[in-house]
Every structure is written in structure tokens, then in C-alpha cells.
Amino acid sequence: MNSPVFTGSGVALITPMQEDGSVNYKKLGELIEFQISNSTDALIICGTTGESKTLENEEHENVIKYSVEAASGRVPVIAGTGSNDTAYSVKLSKYAEKAGADALLLVTPYYNKATQKGLIKHFSAIASAAGLPCILYNVPSRTGMNIETDTYQKLSEIENIVAVKEASGNISQIAQIAQSCDLSIYSGNDDQIVPIMSLGGIGVISVLANILPRETHAICRYMLDGEFQRAREMQLKYLNFINALFCEVNPIPVKTALNLMGMNVGPLRLPLCEMNEQNLQTLKLRMSELELI
């Protein structure tokens, strides 16, 4: 198997905004320092949680460049460069490589989708254009399509396609990937860190880590060290809070939570908007239970 991009907890970092909706780079730098000082093992920039699809191209590039410079080699920086337009994803991936990113996160095409044959052509084109390690991102709930196990097998034959972020929620499929594919597996769901790592996964790309980076790292560390009971206890301890973080479309609750904690990460970009009152009260309750507010 190829060397992993990282093991442990990688944070799917939010993109902080000014009140006028522009990117708040000063706050982004503060968040990166917060993450690194609290044991996060990797930074995932401009993914779903980072509102990448409402970042203009120049903003997307600037956020990647700024994050690479701010991390300064202390932890890997993985740039979200996936798109439903193969040519655009190739262009952005080449930029990320030039900017010094350590790896790419490539979501399956959304809206126009693709056949499994089309997926192979899509990911192959990106991987061949940029020499960085590629992490495939399977999230059918957002994209409307699934990467099938046979497709993973074919894609794993490409040298720099090295891992997958699995957010399908399908434990049976994840077991099949672990059994038959030469790919590192990262949990894409915070409520499945322990189950996926028990099947051989090597970490998580996490929304929870925006709020609890040290604790998310610890769950992964316990699993990697064979301390399964301690990992299970932590997974269950934070389960209600994890559910609250996904009671509305990500990243609405996690960005709201950071603001409730006084982190001042700013507003969301439309079409994402503020939480409804009932869900907000649930989020506040779960945060209060953990003494986060």
C-alpha cells in the first residue's frame, strides 16, 4: 500500500467570512493555529465544510495558497479541488500542486453525475494532470452517485490515487473496499470513526474537529493504538453532539457552533443560511452538555 497522506484526524476546515461575505484570511490563520496547536493531523481546505462551491475561482486559489503558507509544513494541507467539470478540476488541481499543497481531495461529480466508466475517466484525468496524491471523496447524499467497489479497484491501480474519504454510510461497502482495494480509507462521517477504523481505516476527515480537534485526534489515536474501549467511549460520548452538527445541512451547524463559542467565523454564503430556531436550541443544548458554551 502507498504511504498514507496522514493518519489520525484531518479537519474539514470551515472558511471564515467577514460580515460583508468576503473571506476572512486573518481568522483563517487563527483557525489553522488553533487546529495545529490542538493535535489535528491534517488540514482539509476548500471542501464541502469550507463552502468551496460558493468560493469564486480566485478565492478558492487564494484560500489554498494562504493555508499552505500558514501551515508552513507542520501538518499536511489537502486541497479540495474536485468539481463536476473535469477540465476545471484539472486546472485547480494543477494550481494546488504549484501552491504547495500536499494532496488533493476529489469529490465525485455532482448534478451532471457520471457513469462508473465516466468516473474512471474523470479521476484518471485529474490524477494524471497533477502529481499529488489524490483522495477520492464518496458522498452519495450530496452528489447523487456512489463509487462502486469495482470502480475503486480500477482507480486504485493509478499510482497517485491513494485513498478514499468514505461518506456513503454503507459499512458493508467500506468492508469490501478494505478487503479488495489498495487504498487508505478515511471515515467521512464523524459518527462512524470507530466502525470504519475497526475495518482498517486510518483516520477521519472531520467536521467535529472544527470544534473538538484534540478529542477527535484522541479517538483516532486510541483506535490506531488498539485501545478500542477508550475510542468507543469517546465516540459515544460525542454522538449526540455529532448528530446536532448535522441536524441541518453542513456546514450550517458547525459554523453556528463556532460563533456561539466566540470564534467569530462570520456568516454563511447563500444558499446556506442561519439555522431554524428549534435546531438552534438543540445545538445549544448539546454544546451546553459538553460545556462548550
Which helix (DSSP H) or strand (DSSP E) does residue 165 occupy? strand 161-166
**Whole-number pLDDT of residue 222:** 98
Dist CA 251 CA 186 (whole Å): 19
| Sign, Cα dihedral of 111, 274, 256, 245 | negative
Rounded average pLDDT over 104-127 = 96
Give the ranges where the chain is alpha helix by DSSP (H): 25-37, 57-71, 86-99, 116-129, 140-143, 149-155, 171-180, 193-198, 213-224, 228-237, 239-245, 252-260, 277-289
Q: Active-site residue numbers? A: 137, 165
CA distances 130 to 88, 97, 110, 202, Å, are 13, 7, 21, 24
Residue 146, in any domain of the structure:
yes
**Whole-number pLDDT of residue 210:** 98
The CA-based angle 276-279-283, given to 5 degrees, is 130
Dist CA 130 CA 164 (whole Å): 17
**Whole-number pLDDT of residue 206:** 98
**Whole-number pLDDT of residue 3:** 82
**Whole-number pLDDT of residue 271:** 96
Q: Could you tell me what percent of the chain has a pLDDT over 90?
A: 99
Residue 193, in any domain of the structure:
yes
For the chain, the domain total comes to 1
Residue 97, in any domain of the structure:
yes
Which domain range does residue 195 map to?
Answer: 8-225
Residue 37, in any domain of the structure:
yes
Rounded average pLDDT over 119-131 = 96
Predicted confidence (pLDDT) per residue in 225-270, tens digit: 999 999 999 999 999 999 999 999 999 999 999 999 999 999 999 9
pTM to 2 decimal places: 0.95
Q: What is the CATH number of the domain that holds 85?
A: 3.20.20.70
Give the pLDDT band (50/70/90) at residue 272: very high
Predicted confidence (pLDDT) per residue in 162-213, tens digit: 999 999 999 999 999 999 999 999 999 999 999 999 999 999 999 999 999 9
Residue 137, in any domain of the structure:
yes
**Whole-number pLDDT of residue 1:** 59
Closest alpha carbon to 44 in 84, 97, 81: 81
Quote the mean pLDDT of the chain: 96
Predicted confidence (pLDDT) per residue in 64-102, tens digit: 999 999 999 999 999 999 999 999 999 999 999 999 999
Q: Could you tell me what percent of the chain has a pLDDT over 70?
A: 99
Residue 291, in any domain of the structure:
no
Dist CA 220 CA 271 (whole Å): 33
